Amino acid sequence: MNPSGRLPLFPLGIVVYPDEPVPLHIFEQRYREMVQLCMTEDRPFGIVYATEDEIAEVGCTARVRRVLNEYDDGRLDIVATGEVRFRIVQVFRDEPYLTADVASFGIDGSTEEVDTDSRERVITLHIKLLEMAGEEIRTSIYENAPCVSFVVARNAGLEVEQKQELLEMTTEDERVAYLIEHFKNLFARVEQAQEMNRLAQGDGHADGFPEL
């Protein structure tokens, strides 16, 4: 990726993945200006995970796809879509919003070699999680995904720091392995919580457990 000029940055408390739709409410004046510029010139902006102390080095470009609402005071409700990952090379502060020189980061396409068994396993575990949560299952979301890890990670029960960690991984195999291990730990905690709940509803005793 080599966008013309500097990339406008939108620091947020979220992590966005390639091809992920993200609804945004734009209310600060500087970001209204940024979004209007990006829409007028049909150019991307960069979403980077930010805390009170710092912003991440790796983010994902996004492009405005729809404007849902335009308010009288200038606020906007938009839907943007993640495109490609980038690494920040240098940040500039000479505009109302941050801009940066960025470099391409990783491969976000089907040219990566991915272990087929691991891919199928992570999809199976994700479907199990969605079923437990009562979510609608649409297997089509996995079929044409260049990187199934980014599809799964959108709603895999990851903390935001874990989502950023996965965003910064350079191979699909590494991301899929990370998600499989995450699901194993997550389901183990769920089973433990269910067992403790069952004991609490009983007489409060079980072999190897103290009285609750």
Which CATH number belongs to the domain containing residue 34 in this structure?
2.30.130.40
**Strand, coil or helix: what is 143?**
helix
Write down the H helix ranges in the chain: 29-41, 116-132, 140-143, 148-153, 160-167, 172-201
- Please tell me what DSSP assigns to residue 196: H
Q: Where is the domain boundary, 78, 104, 130?
A: 104
pTM of this prediction?
A: 0.86
What pLDDT, on the 0 to 100 scale, is given for residue 189?
Answer: 86
Over residues 155-171, the mean pLDDT reads: 96
Q: Could you tell me if 89 and 38 lie in one domain?
A: yes
C-alpha torsion angle, residues 171, 174, 178, 184 (rounded to 10): 130
Q: How deeply is 17 buried, as exposed, middle or buried, from its count of CB atoms within 10 A (0-12, 13-18, 19+)?
A: buried
The C-alpha atoms of residue 178 and residue 125 are separated, in whole angstroms, by 12
Residue 134: Cβ within 10 Å count: 6
Q: Is residue 45 part of a domain?
A: yes
What is the DSSP secondary-structure string of 154-188? TTSS--HHHHHHHHT---HHHHHHHHHHHHHHHHH
What pLDDT, on the 0 to 100 scale, is given for residue 27?
Answer: 96
pLDDT tier at 130, thresholds 50, 70, 90? very high
Task: Give the count of domains, the chain.
Answer: 2
Q: Could you tell me if 187 and 143 lie in one domain?
A: yes
What pLDDT, on the 0 to 100 scale, is given for residue 106?
Answer: 75
Q: Could you tell me if 76 and 129 lie in one domain?
A: no
User: Taking Cα atoms as reference points, which of 55, 48, 47, 38 lies closest to residue 4?
Assistant: 38
Helix and strand element counts for the chain (H, E): 6, 6
CA dihedral sign, ordered 127, 128, 131, 135: negative
Q: Could you tell me if 54 and 124 lie in one domain?
A: no
Full residue range of the structural domain in which residue 39 is found: 7-104
Q: Could you tell me if 66 and 28 lie in one domain?
A: yes
User: Taking Cα atoms as reference points, which of 93, 95, 19, 11 lies closest to residue 45?
Assistant: 11
Q: Is residue 2 part of a domain?
A: no
Q: What is the mean pLDDT of the chain?
A: 89
DSSP strand pairing (58-70 vs 21-26): unpaired
Which amino acid appears at position 46 of this protein?
G
